[in-house]
Amino acid sequence: MFAILALVGLEAISQVSAGFQKTTITLANNQQVEGAIKEGGIAKGTVQFVAASGSKKSYSAAELNALTVNGETYLALSNDFYKVLVNGKASLLQKQSDNSGKMIFNGSEASVATTTEGKIGEWYLLNTATGDLHLLGKKNFDTVLVNALTDCPAFLADLKAKTFAYDQLAQAIGKYNQCK
């Protein structure tokens, strides 16, 4: 009987309804759950999740660690979702939602969400060793990188030589991640 239910659950995941995308969410306790989310939810800062079992629940970025949709990973940090463009000891992220000012509930206790500065679409550096998240603006990206990623002399020399432009952030972070 359990095997039949498991097969039915797997079949439900493989046949995602129109308007939904197959996903794996990582809850705040690091438990992973497979299912589907309603399209467009990431940009709204809250995803409508349907588990393989058929149960439905809404999750805000504050309730998740991450989600993977169609092979793309999104981190939930500072009450918002960020798409991972480069992953490693330094990660390049792009902001996908803006929950600033929205109400967050912890049981019956309500508070206002605080998020990072910056707008949807802007780039961020995540130093995975420290957990620090930095906004990378066009005018200050090289200064932010020099101050945040200090342990690779070759990378720092390239930054000081202006080897990387703002539109080459992915290559810059990739080079840093290759540094021994």
Q: What is the pTM of this model?
A: 0.83
Asked if 1 and 47 sit in the same domain, the reply is: yes
Asked if 95 and 175 sit in the same domain, the reply is: yes
Instruction: Tell me the mean pLDDT per 10 residues along the chain, length 180.
Output: 45 67 95 94 91 92 94 93 97 90 65 74 94 94 94 94 95 94
pLDDT value of residue 102? 65
Domain that holds residue 65: 1-70
Q: What is the mean pLDDT of the chain?
A: 87
- The domain boundary, picked from 39, 70, 101, lies at 70
Asked if 46 and 80 sit in the same domain, the reply is: no
Alpha carbon separation from 74 to 23, 50, 99, 108, 117 (Å, rounded): 11, 18, 15, 28, 18
Question: Do β-strands 46-51 and 56-60 pair in parallel, antiparallel, or remain unpaired?
Answer: antiparallel
Q: Which two tokens stand for residue 161?
A: 């030589």
Asked if 56 and 80 sit in the same domain, the reply is: no
Q: Output phi, psi for 152, to 5 deg.
A: -135, 95
Residue 95 CB contacts under 8 Å (≥ 6 apart), including other chains: 80, 81, 82, 116, 118, 119, 120, 121, 122, 123, 124
Task: Provide the CATH number for the domain around residue 36.
Answer: 2.30.30.100
Asked if 121 and 51 sit in the same domain, the reply is: no
Residues 106, 128: Cα–Cα separation, whole Å: 27
pLDDT value of residue 100? 67
Asked if 168 and 147 sit in the same domain, the reply is: yes
